[in-house]
Chain A
Amino acid sequence: MAENTTFKLQIMASDHTVYDGEAVSVSLPTTEGSVGILANHSNIIMAVVPGTLEYVPAGEAAADMGLSGRQSVVVSDGLLKVENGETMILVDTAERPEDIDEARAKRAEEKAREELKRANSNRDHAMVEAELSRALSRIKASKPRHKL
């Protein structure tokens, strides 16, 4: 039987799964420099550092996701594990290079919006709270008379 040329690769960011399927190779930045993993790698656990991760997907999962050829993802700190030929990469954040500017701009926009919303909502809330407490004290003051 021929040696496997692909292996199971799972790349997880804290808020989404980047890839889960077969792959031909993956290379990524670690504390020990750039490391490449092919099929049949020995068991290892390494620390991933921020940089660019590249992988070559294969098989059905890649076809399903419409991926072909070399893919690159910008990753942050994390962990790489190869266990019995299966590779798992856990990273805090992972973004495709073409998404980075957009993602950053979007985050900035979201943040600004959030701030604005928060300021408004806190002001509204303070008003509502004052109104409610006024209403409640009025109700309290008049309550004995309402009991029939």
Chain B
Amino acid sequence: MNSDIKFFRVGVASCGVAAGSAEVRAMLEAASSVPVTGVGCIGHCYAEPIVEAVLKDGSSVFYSGVKANEKSIANIIELGEENRFQIPETRKSKELVKVLALAGKVDPVDFDDYVANGGYEGLKKALAMTPAEVVNEVKIAGLRGRGGGGFPTGNKWGFLAAKEAEEKIVVCNADEGDPGAFMDRALMESVPHQVMEGMLIAAYATGATKIFIYCRAEYPLAIKNISTAIAQICEHKLNVFSNREIEIVIKEGAGAFVCGEETALIASLEGRRGQPRFRPPFPTDSGYNGFPTMINNVETFGNVPLILREGGSAFASIGTEGSKGTKIFALAGDLKYPGLVEVPMGTTLNEIVFDIGGADRSVVKAVQTGGPSGGCIPVELFDTPVDYDSLRALGAIMGSGGMIVVGNDRCMVETARYFLDFTHRESCGKCTFCRVGTMRMFEILERITAGKGTEDDLTTLEDLGAKIKAGSLCGLGQTAPNPVLATLRFYRNEYEEHVREHRCAALQCNAFVDLSLDTNKCVKCKLCVKTCPVGAIGDDFTIDNDKCTRCNSCADVCPKNAIKRVAKGTK
């Protein structure tokens, strides 16, 4: 055991655990004579499991891709050279870690650890101010909702503060429904107290009597850590101020994307179908059980302690004119370093995707922001600064911060089809445009990708898409056509290719693809013949494309990469 080591940190957030960090932690604990702390996520998901050896001089040595075997653990304990991990320089220079500063540093469920690192200083400062002063500080900071809408948080707080009611409710929207976003999960898993501190400050500033955390059930670790944090808060009576005790309740969502919509979330909190209703009345006038209710997203709350600790003006000094502070993005898709990244608002897509994400410029086609509610932005426009207004101008949205890098080998029509498949299923079924309209758009996209589309279908998509945006009751329907409209705007040629030439350049749409075996590369190992589930490959290594289901199993098992997808009819 190297005597320079003070203690170890092991990332045991969901990504880490999925990569095997629980086993690593157990083995390390058994082998180590210094403490091993389980911490949250440092954002470098591609490198999990990650072990940080904190040295007595305060510096750290990181290990990545640690395996749960003796050799690997021994290497760490001896501060060996193998598997050492350096954060890439290009990333370091672009990042500005504020909200995530304690993620991966503190033990998520250790109250004292959080307090020792400046935790609850923001709350303390707030309690020394009047509620109105706190609201004002948030207004000065210029914080806007991180859940996607971008509504000024201070204003929302002001609305609730102005209400007189027997009960007033603050809700934390932790129903991170955008498939492709995981910032909120990481925050709740890694720094639950920071999120809770933000909520307590909000409750103080707005005069709220009750706090709900509405968290998706797919995040068991987040629920566990938040629940632990709540118990610790109650134990330390941090929820008692202004002569009242704030009740804090965590409710698990039951799987409905639409519950990210304020009024649907409230319906769900009330134990009903998560269907939105017409606004006004706005929730701050009449929300949960008719009481004034204010809903903010996890990351929004995560920013609040910073604002109180460092002051609204300091917060506002970061970012752009209209978008203040930093933003956490969940980077995924076709890039080298998927994970979480926190950058100042206004950082360009080029910086995020290439400098930080390490994507290969030659293979990137576009980036999809805002998930199923957002749009794609082609690589040619990557000098766009990422802020609420610039993205909206491109037909995309900031959304909650999911950012999927799309490579050249992806078909944009198929990508649009995928998103509409998601939204039409997630539509609550209440209003006509969304319930039927998204289904019809999805069906058209299915036709186009199946080789049965027409030019008229493209016109219908545009016309119907615009009407669904204009005529839907809630945000889900109002944004559902975005992925289609954006791809039609930037990649119309791909749509036209599908309907006119019956061709999918990305070779993704099965209707336009054959599988082809290169006999020069083939070593006749017969793995493909054995693997094919439908018997489409004969003993003479010819592929019967009429039988073939394009499942790609053969290409996947071929040791020589002799089987390729080719345009249909290629000889």
Partners in one complex: no
Interface of A toward B, CB cutoff 8 Å? none
Interface of B toward A, CB cutoff 8 Å? none
